[in-house]
Amino acid sequence: MRRGTIFAAFAACLFLTTSGCSEIGWGGDDDDDISIGMPTWVEGQYWDYAFHSDDVDIDSARMVMAGIEGENYVVGTSRIDDARRHAVLNINPLLGRARFADLAVYENGEPELFLSFPLEEGKTWSFAFLGVEQWDARVEKIREEQSLGKDARVAYIHAEGSDGTTLDYQYDSAAGWIRFLEKADGTDVLLRMVLIEHGTGWTGNAYFVRGRDLMDETYESSAGNPVADVFDTYVDSGHPKYGDFSYLVYFSNYDAGGDGEIYWILRDHTGGIGAQDFYNNEEGVILGTTASVEGNWTLALEMTGNCYFRLRVAGGIEYSWSV
Amino acid letter, 139 = V
Q: What is the CA radius of gyration of the chain?
A: 22
The pLDDT of residue 10: 45
* pLDDT score at 6: 39
Report which residue type is found at 54.
Answer: D
- State the Cα–Cα distance between residues 206 and 201, nearest whole angstrom: 13
Domains (ranges, CATH) in the chain?
Answer: 8-203 (2.50.20), 212-322 (2.60.120.380)
Report the SS3 class of residue 143.
strand
Euclidean distance between CA atoms 78 and 205, whole angstroms: 6
Asked if 171 and 113 count as a contact pair (C-beta separation under 8 A), the reply is: no
Cα separation, 49 vs 182, whole angstroms: 13
Q: Which has the closest alpha carbon to 301: 263, 273, 266, 251?
A: 263
Quick one: which of 64, 60, 99 has its CA closest to 320?
64
Q: What is the pLDDT of residue 32?
A: 53
Q: Specify the DSSP class assigned to residue 222.
A: B
Helix (H, G, I), strand (E, B), or coil: what is residue 112?
Answer: strand
Q: How many CB atoms lie within 10 A of CB 55?
A: 17
Classify 83 as helix, strand or coil.
Answer: helix
Positions in the chain whose pLDDT score sits under 50: 1-13, 15-31
Q: Residue 20: what pLDDT?
A: 40
- Cα-Cα-Cα-Cα torsion 70, 72, 75, 81, nearest 10 degrees, comes to -60
Rounded CA-CA distance 126/136 in Å is 5
Instruction: Say if residues 289 and 248 touch (Cβ distance below 8 Å).
Output: yes
Q: In terms of Cα–Cα distance, which of 242, 198, 204 is closest to 87?
A: 242
| Residue-level pLDDT at 157 | 98
Q: Among residues 188, 169, 153, which one has the least CA distance to residue 114?
A: 169
Per the prediction, the chain carries an average pLDDT of: 89
